[in-house]
Amino acid sequence: MPVVACHDCDLLNRLPDEAAATLLCARCGAVLQKHKPDSIERSLALTLAALILFIVANSFPFLAMKSGGFVQETKLLTGIVELWRQELYGLASLVLITCVLVPLLQMSCLLYILAPLKYDRPVPHAIRAFRLLRHIAPWGMLEIFMLGILVALVKLGKMATIVPGISVFAFGLLVLVMAAAVTVLDPPLLWARLDRRP
């Protein structure tokens, strides 16, 4: 009899017969399983789109500020470099990790896991990559950075003219596409497909 244990309360729950059903823990209500149709293809397509948007967001000017005769143009990485220059190394690293490295690693892991699965070619360490993906997920904070941009714009809007660049729009799209790529993922299905035990 196929059974799963709830990760939040340890109660054993019987898996439903229909694959399409959503299974909630009978005792604490945690979502234990939720079928997502075509999850591998969809997530793969969204990940590729996210990767392109990520490159665009990092290559073009992000925001430009005009005040008096000065024009200050910045890229996505400028703030991190500036924090580093102010000797706030920990803070600079934290922003670099949560807004650049983790999202990049998430996209790489997704590509590495999903592309071979789509063509049924097993690759080494795919399981390790999936575990890594699950562990770093809370530390990717693109959507929070996006909200930070909006707050900063309002704050500076009073003292200068801010011109948003291509990057801001690419970044906004990236946030949505990235969230979608993770949402359409079906972890129980992936674990079953990646299982290499005899």
Q: Is 147 in the site for other proteins (CB under 8 A)?
A: yes
CB of 33 to other proteins, least distance (A): 9
Q: Which is nearer to other proteins, 84 or 176 (CB)?
A: 84
Q: Tell me, what DSSP letter sits at residue 25?
A: -
- Identify whether the C-beta of residue 111 lies closer than 8 Å to the C-beta of residue 44: yes
CB of 113 to Zn ion, least distance (A): 15
Q: Tell me, what DSSP letter sits at residue 18?
A: S
Q: Is 31 in the site for Zn ion (CB under 5 A)?
A: no
Strands 31-33 and 23-24, by their bridges, are antiparallel
For residue 190 the two structure tokens come to 């992936």
For residue 76 the two structure tokens come to 């996505």
User: Among residue numbers 61 through 120, which ones bind other proteins (CB under 8 A)?
Assistant: 63, 65, 67-68, 70, 72, 74, 78-83, 86, 88, 90-91, 94-95, 98-99
Q: Is 49 in the site for other proteins (CB under 8 A)?
A: no
Length of the chain in terms of residues written: 198
Run of H or E including 64: strand 63-67
Angle between helices 39-59 and 166-183 (to 10 degrees): 160
- Identify whether the C-beta of residue 110 lies closer than 8 Å to the C-beta of residue 43: yes
Residues forming contacts to Zn ion in the complex (CB under 5 A) are 6, 8-9, 11, 25, 27-28, 30
**Which positions touch other proteins (CB under 8 A)?**
3-5, 7-16, 23, 25-30, 63, 65, 67-68, 70, 72, 74, 78-83, 86, 88, 90-91, 94-95, 98-99, 127-128, 130-131, 134-135, 138-139, 141, 144-145, 147-149, 151-152, 154-156, 158-159, 162, 187-188, 191, 195, 197
